[in-house]
């Protein structure tokens, strides 16, 4: 009695699937890397953001109103 033979599976065909990245998917991480590297190499250029006292008071008041 002979066993049935199995045929090898057909290779997957490219069904028109296009796997390409948009330009910004590479440009934005590259830009972020360069900016962070520049800040590490020259930390004197990294200035702390100065907060406006009026804006700080306003946000504090909003936080108090939300907490009630």
pLDDT tens sequence across 13-66: 656 667 888 988 999 999 999 988 888 887 676 566 666 777 788 888 888 888
The pLDDT assigned to 27 comes to 93
The pLDDT assigned to 57 comes to 82
- Of the pLDDT bands very low, low, confident and very high (cuts 50, 70, 90), residue 3 is confident
The pLDDT assigned to 13 comes to 62
Q: Is 36 helix (H, G, I), strand (E, B) or coil?
A: helix
Higher pLDDT, 30 or 4: 30
């Amino acid at each position: 009695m002979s066993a049935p033979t199995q045929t090898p599976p057909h290779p997957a065909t490219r069904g028109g699937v296009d796997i390409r990245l948009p330009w910004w998917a590479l440009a934005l991480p590259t830009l972020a890397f360069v900016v962070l590297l520049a800040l590490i190499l020259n930390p004197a250029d990294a200035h702390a953001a100065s907060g406006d006292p009026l804006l700080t008071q306003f946000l504090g008041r909003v936080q108090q109103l939300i907490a009630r």
